[in-house]
Amino acid sequence: MAQGQMAPGIVAGRLSSDELAANFDDLHPAYAPHEAAVAADRCYFCYDAPCQTACPTEIDIPLFIRQIQTGHPEAAARTILEQNILGGMCARVCPTETLCEEACVREAAEGKPVEIGRLQRYATDTLMARGVHPFTRAASTGKRVAVVGAGPAGLACAHRLAMLGHDVVIHEARPKAGGLNEFGIAAYKATGGFAGAEVDWLLQIGGITVEQGSALGQGLTLDALRADYDAVFLSIGLAGVNALRAAGEDKAGVRDAVDFIAELRQADDLSALPVGRNVVVIGGGMTAIDAAVQSKLLGAENVTVAYRRSRAEMGASGFEQDLAASKGVRLMFNVMPVAVHGNGAAVEIELEYTTSAGGSVTGTGETVRLAADQVFKAIGQTLRGAPEGLELDGRKIKVEGAGRTSVPGVWAGGDCASGGEDLTVTAVAEGRDAAMDIHAQLSA
């Protein structure tokens, strides 16, 4: 049985439509106005607030919470969106527990921070519900900028450039804009088609054209873009997936976690989405947790996340680990895959116990087998399709300052670029800052 064919244990309809609807409901329900007022009242409105310092987009958190407290959520939204135009999605998917909320003085004093993420969502949702865009486009500069990739970095860059009066064309390979916000985040974190709605709302600024089915290497070259546009911003993400390097990983039932999540996010009917009875996810980051939890929510009986390092070294936050455990996902640490067993299709996975020290992982020789009719690979992604001539820094495009690459007139940001963490909020900051640098150069 070739890879990509359906293994016998992977079937659809393990749960009813009603059960699935309940399972995939909003992870953090929106605040009602009175709840937001009570939550905002807990803020100390610190001078030199540590929460603001911890935010990659440097939102003035005390100010926007004060604006909510005084009954002006739309003003609060503008404060947020001036720094982070994708503040609505970031309010839903940011690991606030390791960023602003971890830095909150209330967290240090009481172990219970101000719920900054939910307050941010309340403000941005209130404004977006009006359908009005809070920013006005400047007079046209006559300059044209190409943005390659409509993920968070590309959208943030395009919006800021358009707001400053430049004309922007976004080249996007997929049929929808949004990048990981649309295709790569757990469905229970962004319900009701929010990712698409936010993109539509963002484009209201004007001056941005999105060309779908347009990608580097598919009739589009960097040289042509440089010739046709005044500047180029690359936000092409990480399209490649690392291999397990384990015998039998080509068996049916073994697939990339990112593809599974994308399929789930685009499914019209979750009851038609197949899932295994015994699922093992290899990896320790947010993608691994999202794949594991959603497998459980689809009706898988046994779901295990197998990570080659210790719990303390796991990329997923403590909150995400606890969420997985609360949904019945088993977390295994210091184990790595050595073989997938089965006659054409996965039946078991063999894991070797490891020790990790000084950044290296070593197998102990002791192994264990788990039943596994479905195995998801979530062990990191790699850059694929980077144009020739760009200097790389390891597996990413090397950038300096606000995203300048080694090629004049070309900037890069988001997951494809060296530098910050692979987070939506970091990508937004990089896209915004690159746009300001592009604007400065085009205005010189």
CA angle 199–202–205, rounded 5-degree value: 145
Cα–Cα distance for residue pair 413/416, rounded to 1 Å: 6
> Helix 116-129 and helix 61-69: axis angle, to 10°?
60
* Per-residue pLDDT, 3: 45
* Per-residue pLDDT, 386: 85
* Per-residue pLDDT, 344: 92
Nearest residue to 45 (alpha-carbon basis) of 91, 97, 104: 104
Q: Is 198 exposed, middle or buried (0-12, 13-18, 19+ CB in 10 A)?
A: buried
Q: Is 174 exposed, middle or buried (0-12, 13-18, 19+ CB in 10 A)?
A: middle
* Per-residue pLDDT, 116: 98
Give the strands of the sheet with 278-282, arranged side by side.
Answer: 254-256, 374-377, 278-282, 302-306, 330-332
Nearest residue to 76 (alpha-carbon basis) of 86, 90, 62: 62
Nearest residue to 343 (alpha-carbon basis) of 237, 248, 425: 248
Cα–Cα distance for residue pair 321/257, rounded to 1 Å: 17
The Cβ of residue 1 has, within 10 Å, a number of other Cβ atoms equal to 15
User: Which position has the token pair 């190409």?
Assistant: 146
* Per-residue pLDDT, 100: 97
Decide if 327 contacts 293 (C-beta within 8 A): yes
Would you give per-residue pLDDT tens digits along the chain (444 residues)? 444 456 778 999 999 999 999 999 999 889 999 999 999 999 999 999 999 999 999 999 999 999 999 999 999 999 999 999 999 999 999 999 999 999 999 999 999 999 999 999 999 999 999 988 999 999 999 999 999 999 999 999 999 999 999 999 999 999 999 999 999 999 999 999 999 999 999 999 999 999 999 999 888 999 999 999 999 999 999 988 888 999 999 999 999 999 999 999 999 999 999 999 999 999 999 999 999 999 999 999 999 999 999 999 999 999 999 999 999 999 999 999 999 999 999 999 999 999 988 889 999 999 999 999 999 999 988 898 788 889 999 889 999 999 999 999 999 999 999 987 889 999 999 999 999 999 999 998
User: Which position has the token pair 């604007």?
Assistant: 439
* Per-residue pLDDT, 4: 47
CATH numbers and ranges of domains, the chain: 33-129 (1.10.1060.10), 144-239+383-443 (3.50.50.60), 241-377 (3.50.50.60)
Q: Which three-class secondary structure state does DSSP give residue 275? A: strand
* Per-residue pLDDT, 420: 75
* Per-residue pLDDT, 5: 55
Residue count (the chain): 444
